[in-house]
A and B are shown apart, each in its own frame.
Chain A
Amino acid sequence: MLINSLSFLAFFAIVVVVYFAPVVQRNSLRQNLWLLLASYVFYGLADWRMVPLLLGATVVFYGLGAAVKRMMNHERWKAASRLTTLAAALGIALLLYFKYLDFFGQSFATMLAAMGFQVSWTTLHILVPVGVSFFTFKLISYVVEIHRERIEPTHDFVQFATYIAFFPTIMSGPIDRPGKFLPQLQRQHSFDEPLALDGCRQVLWGVFTKMCVADNLALLTGSVWGMPADFPASRLLVAALLFPLQMYADFAGYSDMAIGVAKVLGFRVERNFNHPYLARNVAEYWRRWHMSLTSWITDYVFMPLNISMRNWGRWGTIIAVMVNLIVIGLWHGANWTYAVFGLYHALLFIPLVFSGSFGRNRKLKPSAHGLPKGSDFLKMLGTYCLVAIGLLIFQAPSLSRLWEYIAALFRPSLFTLPPLGLPWFTYVGLAMLVACEWLCRNREHPLQFLHGPAARSRAVRWGIYYALILCIFFFQGETQQFIYFQF
């Protein structure tokens, strides 16, 4: 059930009505039980065969969290550390089995064959559970946070299971941290009208960017990977340059919908994007892109590594960054292209670490005309191009196809007018998206009207809502699966 489908709208309407019904709203346990049931139904509709796995993993990690705390209470620090390591290893094993076993088996067999050994690997065709990369990270962080004494384990299994399976975010995140999310499940939720309305606006913007921008752009970027040489080089170049915007409209659109849906239920979930294409270098880009994943990996991979290598100076940081970004790359799936994608970004970090531009960047200040300053704009453009090259690696089906694509780019047809074949509204949608990125850079989403005519006039606000709804009805592209659902 796609989050932007009518069936989801019907499902969500039932969830909301029951969730805020007086008899359910009376206490948090009833509300959580209802949310848990709804989340498992939602997950089961995606793939009912994986429900036992989700439930089983939830039970095991709930027990592990309690056991780690018990050992810490008895000052058995080493045993607590060992159990936390076991929890992390279990989570990683879960991911390795479902997502990477075939990949590593096949790669190992190929490597041995290249060395002259006769080895064959029979592909196991393991069914990958929906959202496994997302809920596994939540499971691991719960136990690690208890061990770091940042949270207390919850004694309410329903709360924990609801945190793990929370339906707006289980498929593609954002990856919520237990320290922020569990306390929200501990209190009873009454309907919060301002928050719910803000959530509806965020959902509207998410649906617009997904259906009117990303789905239309997919016409251009999806087809070129079959046989790149069959397309004029100029079209390949435009597809490569527009893919970052398609990916953003798709994934940020999904995140806006998930965050907005959670707001209607009275929950605040992690922000996932902070205008990534306003970044002036790659380090800043990673602080603005898929923030719930990057901050997770920074906390649990980069920081421990960098701390252990803290006396190696900048080289320690570079090694930690390399591992960090390769892990981020491979998190997306079992393909060498993802590892190369991570490595590519890691290499872009090296000059930043040496020049001292790795850290936080100064705030963006507009020029006197309200536009980005020339130097900032050039840096944004340069970063965008570097990101586009990275995403070319990311979306390639294989390294050999990537090479074909790059070779096909350098042909005389690069200097011809590209036949794009996109509906005209795609360009309008793109222009709106890019303009909103800059103009609404201090807001969580563009429909948060803080000042200006839309903030003052209800008619202007509703005009904007209706215009977006009409655009969705008349200019939506052919429905595409969310890019991040495959991860």
Chain B
Amino acid sequence: MNEEILNALTEIFRDIFDNEDIVATPALCADDVEEWDSLSHIQLVVAIEKHWHIKFTAREIMKWQNVGEMAQGIADKIA
């Protein structure tokens, strides 16, 4: 997994969830983070798209089940 992407995701997560303890690891999922609900998920997507200047389809977003899949989606777009 691209370390750089995970580090950037950690920063985005901390900003969106307002929680400095969060570390974006590939296995992390919504069930592990109390603040991660459907609304903050959308905020996350918007922040990710803005950060990397990319655009995901609804299907790509709905497919993600954890941070690893999210990071892989980002890696595929910026490759």
Q: Is the CB of A150 within 8 A of B38?
A: no
List B contacts of A306 (CB < 8 A). Answer: 38-39, 42
Q: How far is the CA of A57 from the CA of B58 in the complex (A)?
A: 28
Supposing A149-B63, A150-B65 touch, asked if A307 and B37 sit within 8 A by C-beta, the answer is no
List B contacts of A316 (CB < 8 A). Answer: 42
Q: How far is the CA of A308 from the CA of B63 in the complex (A)?
A: 15
List B contacts of A476 (CB < 8 A). Answer: none
Does A303 make an interface contact (CB < 8 A)? Answer: yes
Q: Is the CB of B38 within 8 A of A303?
A: yes
Q: Could you mark each residue 39-54 of chain B with 1 if its beta carbon is under 8 Å from any beta carbon of chain A, else 0?
A: 1111001100000000
Does A351 make an interface contact (CB < 8 A)? Answer: no
Q: Which residue of A lies closest to B40 (CB)?
A: A359
Does A298 make an interface contact (CB < 8 A)? Answer: yes
Does A142 make an interface contact (CB < 8 A)? Answer: no
Q: How far is the CA of A150 from the CA of B59 in the complex (A)?
A: 11
Does B61 make an interface contact (CB < 8 A)? Answer: yes
Say whether chain A's binding surface is mostly helix, strand, loop, or mixed.
helix
Does A281 make an interface contact (CB < 8 A)? Answer: no
Supposing A310-B42, A310-B46 touch, asked if A359 and B37 sit within 8 A by C-beta, the answer is yes
Nearest-neighbour CB distance to chain B for A309, whole angstroms, equals 9
Does B79 make an interface contact (CB < 8 A)? Answer: no
Count of A-B residue pairs with CB < 8 Å: 42
Which of A147-199 touch B at CB < 8 Å? 147-150
Q: Is the CB of B63 within 8 A of A148?
A: yes
Q: Number of B interface residues at 8 Å Cβ cutoff, please give it.
A: 17
Supposing A148-B63, A304-B58 touch, asked if A311 and B46 sit within 8 A by C-beta, the answer is yes
Q: Is the CB of B63 within 8 A of A150?
A: yes
Q: How far is the CA of A359 from the CA of B30 in the complex (A)?
A: 13
- Neighbour of A303 across the interface among B34, B36, B40, B62, CB < 8 A: B62
List B contacts of A308 (CB < 8 A). Answer: 58
Does A125 make an interface contact (CB < 8 A)? Answer: no
- Neighbour of A307 across the interface among B36, B40, B58, B65, CB < 8 A: B58
List A contacts of B35 (CB < 8 A). Answer: 359-360
Q: Number of A interface residues at 8 Å Cβ cutoff, please give it.
A: 21
Q: How far is the CA of A307 from the CA of B18 in the complex (A)?
A: 22
Q: Is the CB of A358 within 8 A of B39?
A: yes
Q: Could you mark each residue 356-395 of chain A with 1 if its beta carbon is under 8 Å from any beta carbon of chain B, else 0?
A: 0011100100000000000000000000000000000000
Nearest-neighbour CB distance to chain A for B8, whole angstroms, equals 19
Q: How far is the CA of A119 from the CA of B40 in the complex (A)?
A: 48
Does A302 make an interface contact (CB < 8 A)? Answer: yes
List B contacts of A307 (CB < 8 A). Answer: 42, 45, 58, 61-62
Q: How far is the CA of A358 from the CA of B34 in the complex (A)?
A: 13
**Of B39, B40, B41, B46, most A-chain CB atoms within 10 Å:** B39
Q: Which residue of B lies closest to A84 (CB)?
A: B59
Q: Is the CB of A148 within 8 A of B62?
A: yes
List B contacts of A298 (CB < 8 A). Answer: 38
Nearest-neighbour CB distance to chain A for B63, whole angstroms, equals 6
Q: How far is the CA of A310 from the CA of B36 in the complex (A)?
A: 16
Q: How far is the CA of A360 from the CA of B38 in the complex (A)?
A: 9
- A-B residue pairs in contact (CB < 8 Å), sample of 26: A81-B59, A147-B59, A148-B62, A149-B63, A298-B38, A303-B41, A303-B62, A304-B58, A304-B62, A306-B38, A306-B42, A307-B42, A307-B58, A307-B61, A307-B62, A310-B42, A310-B45, A311-B46, A317-B39, A353-B39, A358-B39, A359-B35, A359-B40, A360-B34, A360-B37, A363-B34
| Known contacts A307-B58, A316-B42, A363-B34, then 18 further A-B pairs from the complex at CB < 8 Å, ordered by chain A residue | A147-B59, A302-B38, A304-B58, A304-B62, A306-B38, A306-B42, A307-B61, A307-B62, A308-B58, A310-B42, A310-B46, A311-B46, A317-B39, A358-B39, A359-B40, A360-B35, A360-B36, A360-B37
